[in-house]
Amino acid sequence: MARIKKIGVFTSGGDAPGMNACIRAVVRTAIHDGLEVVGIRQGYQGMLESNFWDMSARDVGNIIHIGGTILKTARCLEFKTPEGTKKAYDNLRSYGIDALVAIGGDGTANGASRLSLTHGIPVMCIPGTIDNDLYGSDFTLGFDTATNTVIEAIDKIRDTAASHNRLFFIEVMGRDSGCIALRAGIAGGSEAVLLPERDTAIDELIEKLSSHANNHKSSSIVIVAEGDKNGGAYHVAERVKEKFDFYDSKVTILGHLQRGGSPSSFDRVLASRLGFAAVRALLNGKDRQMVGLRGNAIVLTPLEEALHFSHFKLEDDLLEMINVLSI
């Protein structure tokens, strides 16, 4: 295999706090190890438009604490076509880019895998998504920060909920993954959590809230992941309200504020470790791997495996614990 001289780094799909810290780690590790680094703006779209940026160590100064991504991100349908993938590859090669570090979710990893399989360019994927829904890493970049953001909001809502005997339904991000909802539910001391991965009968929820009320709880907080099968926080609130008028019910949709903000120390360290490891793995001749954290070790998982296996990783003990701790 020819020695790698110039690597490209890009962020793609949904943005997540910690992506900048990861870009910084990739750029500085590569330069430290004698490589040239090119930032590719706007993910696969940027490959199609040769939107390339020759990066220096100084270009990634003062970004470790900033949310979002200085390389921007985009969704790009054209890249998914065989012609689009080839055009992206041709542009990369004519710029001398001979390996890639992709930071993003499963769509991004699928795209990187295709680029590598069809055209032979080595790729390393770093799981960057607030949803924590990728196989191959216990935690994805941005998940910890997003959960902390949700908890901050819950804490504030709790103050007003407790003052008014209110029942709050708080909708959090997670179309297919209940990871944010579950962790935020525990850390925010909520009474119940509704997740996309589990069916929750509204009757059971009402029964639970009634028993809490009978147990002298003056307010309750229910976390609803946006992908919950009951149709989201407004629908759940409506149906609960019909049969249960003890509380004054309110709904808060947290929305996109969950994506932003300064990354937590956990995400900054994770981003640095994953970015560093991705460059070293490329230099060691590895290809088509997901770089992740398992236990407290950085582990490579072949992309085929990472993309094939289910990302379902809700811990059953946490679910049971919410029922116990919310009595």
Q: Contact, 307 vs 55, CB < 8 A? A: no
CA distance 322 to 186: 6
28 assigned to a ligand binding site: yes
Residue 132 structure tokens: 């924590």
Catalytic residue among 131, 133, 144, 267: 131
Q: Work out the number of other CB atoms within 10 angstroms of the CB of residue 266.
A: 16
Tell whether residue 175 is a contact of ligand ADP (CB under 6 A): no
> Which has the closest alpha carbon to 9: 41, 57, 56, 31?
41
Please name the residue ranges forming H helices in the chain.
19-32, 43-48, 82-94, 106-119, 143-164, 179-187, 202-214, 233-243, 265-283, 303-308, 316-325
- Given the rule CB under 6 A, which of 34-42, 76-84, 167-175, 272-280 is the region that contacts ligand ADP? 76-84
129 assigned to a ligand binding site: yes
Tell whether residue 76 is a contact of ligand ADP (CB under 6 A): yes
286 assigned to a ligand binding site: no
Q: Report CA-CA distances (Å) from 119 to 42, 74, 110.
A: 21, 22, 14
Contacts of 257 (CB under 8 A, 6+ apart): 149, 153
- How does DSSP classify residue 165? T
When the beta carbons of 43 and 185 are compared against ligand ADP, the nearer one is 43
When the beta carbons of 32 and 175 are compared against ligand ADP, the nearer one is 175
140 assigned to a ligand binding site: no
Tell whether residue 87 is a contact of ligand ADP (CB under 6 A): no
Tell whether residue 13 is a contact of ligand ADP (CB under 6 A): yes
Tell whether residue 226 is a contact of ligand ADP (CB under 6 A): no
Question: CA 97, 103, 105, 109 torsion: positive or negative?
Answer: positive
190 assigned to a ligand binding site: yes
Tell whether residue 241 is a contact of ligand ADP (CB under 6 A): no
CA distance 28 to 250: 48
Query: From the DSSP assignment, how many helices (H) and strands (E) are in the chain?
Result: 11, 11
Query: Does the active-site annotation cover 98?
Result: no
Tell whether residue 17 is a contact of ligand ADP (CB under 6 A): no
189 assigned to a ligand binding site: yes
Smallest distance, ligand ADP to C-beta of residue 308, A: 13
CA distance 167 to 80: 45
The one among 8, 14, 46, 136 contacting ligand ADP by CB under 6 A: 14
- Given the rule CB under 6 A, which of 11-19, 20-28, 64-72, 289-297 is the region that contacts ligand ADP? 11-19
Q: Scan residues 24-53 and list those touching ligand ADP (CB under 6 A).
A: 44
CA distance 120 to 114: 9
Q: Scan residues 96-135 and list those touching ligand ADP (CB under 6 A).
A: 104-108, 110-111, 114, 129
Tell whether residue 69 is a contact of ligand ADP (CB under 6 A): no
Q: Which residues does the annotation place in the binding site for ATP? A: 14, 75-76, 105-108
Which residues are catalytic, by number? 131
Q: Which residues does the annotation place in the binding site? A: 14, 24-28, 75-76, 105-108, 129-131, 158, 166, 173-175, 189-191, 217-219, 226, 250, 256-259
List residues near ligand ADP by CB under 6 A.
12-14, 44, 75-76, 79-80, 104-108, 110-111, 114, 129
